[in-house]
Structure 1
Amino acid sequence: MSKQIHSSLKVLLVSDLERSKTFYRDVLGCEVTDWWAIRDGYTGLGVKLLQANSLEDVCPNKPAKGDMQVAYDIYCYVENWTELDELYTEFKEKRATIVIEPWIDSDSGPWKEFAIVDPDNYCIAFGGTNGY
């Protein structure tokens, strides 16, 4: 049997590497090194931050056809709504820019989510079911 993938990292080209490292450390609570920003171990949020050559290289996703006006660049699954609400409160207290306030999609699980943006407008969403 072949090995299963253990984890992955999202690679982001950023306009100001030090500013991004500060945001991921101070606002998102990540362990930040020269190689990555990690929260909750290698199966949690994992991002590799790289200095872009030019501002044109910083490219947050565009919304998909028919989607809402915000496009997700990273999506983080959270085990239950209590943890999701705690993350929302933590990020709000640290003055994260909330672009989608917590909402519940009753047709999908039900599913609850919210989203923030980093200094380069990469959108990071957090969501999950209520422990089902």
Structure 2
Amino acid sequence: MTMNRNTTKAKLGRSVQVRLVADLKKSQAYYRDVLGCTVDDWGHAERDELLFILQQAMSPDDVKPNRVSRKRPDYPTDWEGPEHAWDSFIYISWEDLDLYVEEVRARGGIIAIEPFVGAHGKWEFKNAYIQDLDGYNLVLGAMREVAAG
């Protein structure tokens, strides 16, 4: 049987992010008790559609959160890229963003950057940065179309 490559595409499944962490037990507790994830002994940390696999790093030197990216002048709007590093970008509704930040704050979480609002072209965005114990930035992001005025 021959496959026509022009019409047949493989379907990809859910993407899962893997995190090397300095202390697996502490990270599992943080993702469970602070971020509100269900965490199993394998290191799976899951909440709604979010899923991480936490793995013990061989050395703390192996834990390497992303650094800030280079600015890019060729985006479709005047935005040139984030001001801070992103390790995960998590889509969230406009209303739920503040609710989740307060939930994490109440549980003693690290709010690295408080919610802020900006605009790109016809879109308004709201972001907040939550960090885990290893300094990985979980960026919460909400967008909505700006009402024509």
TM tier, shorter chain?
Answer: 0.7 to 0.9
How far does residue 75 in structure 1 lie from its aligned partner after superposition? 0.8
Instruction: Give yes or no for contact 1:16–1:51 (8 Å, CA) kept in 2.
Output: yes
**Percentage of matched positions with identical amino acids:** 35
Query: What's the offset of the Cα at 1:65?
Result: 2.1
Between the aligned partners of 2:126 and 2:65, the Cα distance in structure 1 is: 23
Q: Is the 8 A contact 2:124 2:145 kept in 1?
A: no
Following superposition of structure 1 onto structure 2, how do residues 40-79 of structure 1 map, counting pairs within 5 Å?
40=48, 44-66=49-71, 67-68=82-83, 70-78=84-92
CA distance, structure 1, for counterparts of residue 12 and residue 46 of structure 2:
17
- Unaligned 5+ runs, structure 1: none
Larger radius of gyration: 2
- Is there any run of 5+ residues in structure 2 with no aligned partner, and where? 1-7, 72-81
State yes or no: 1:13 paired with 2:20: yes
- Size of the aligned set, in residue pairs, is 127
Distance 1:36 1:99 in 2: 23
Q: TM-score, normalised by structure 2?
A: 0.78
Aligned-partner SS, 2:102 = helix
With a CA cutoff of 8 Å and minimum separation of 6, indicate the structure with the bigger relative contact order.
1
2:30 is the counterpart of 1:23:
yes
> Aligned Cα RMSD in Å?
1.8
Name the aligned partner's letter for residue 62 of structure 1.
Answer: R
**Paired position in structure 1 for 2:124:** 110
1:24-48 residue CA offsets vs partner (Å, 9 max, x unmatched): 00011101011410110xxx21101
- 1:5 Cα deviation after fit: 2.6
Residue number in structure 1 paired with 2:74: none
Question: What is the CA–CA distance in structure 1 between the aligned matches of 2:56 and 2:94, rounded to whole Å?
Answer: 35
- Equivalent residue, structure 1, for 2:45: 37
Which residue identity does 1:27 align to in structure 2?
A: V
Shift of 1:3: 4.6
- Mapped to 2, the partners of 1:19 and 1:128 lie a distance apart of 29
What TM-score comes out, normalization by structure 1 length? 0.88
